[in-house]
Amino acid sequence: MWGDAKRPKAVAYDTLVGQRTELHGDIRFSGGLHIDGTVKGNVVAEEGASSLLTLSEKGVIEGEVQVPNAVINGTVVGDVHVRDQLKLSGNARISGNVYYGLVEMALGAEVNGKLVHRPSDDTPLLALEREAVEEPAASNS
């Protein structure tokens, strides 16, 4: 679906959360992060970096995700914010809203929440989220 020019560059994994690891607290990273275990906290990439989060089929995140690029094949309980490219593989399960620049969804992937396209300009992500949440409420008044 993505042309070769649009694919995220190959990233070496700087950080690995192993399958038998449960981490309580937020993770802030740059480069590549691969999660096979459980993270109970937010996962946030360093601002301005072209980082990549990979969540394996066995991986679980219970918290908010804010990254430029992600490949998700596990479970996320919380909102997912992906500035550039998001790939949801067949075993992806997300319970929360998904904010994305470009998304690819495989057959079988589940999102239990809103899918909100984020424009490719540099508008701050939080400003867009407030607009998306406030618009329905404002129309009811």
Element (H, E) at 127: helix 125-139
Total domain count, the chain: 1
The stretch 108-119 carries a mean pLDDT of: 94
Name which of 3-7, 100-104, 119-123 the model is least confident about.
3-7
pLDDT band, very low/low/confident/very high, at 141 (cuts 50, 70, 90): very low
pLDDT at 14: 82
pTM of the complete model: 0.78
The boundaries of the domain holding residue 12 are: 4-139
CA pair distance 124, 140, nearest whole angstrom = 26
Residue 5 has pLDDT above 80, yes or no: no
Flag the least confident range among 9-23, 37-51, 57-71, 80-94: 9-23
pLDDT of residue 48: 78
Average pLDDT over residues 72-88: 97
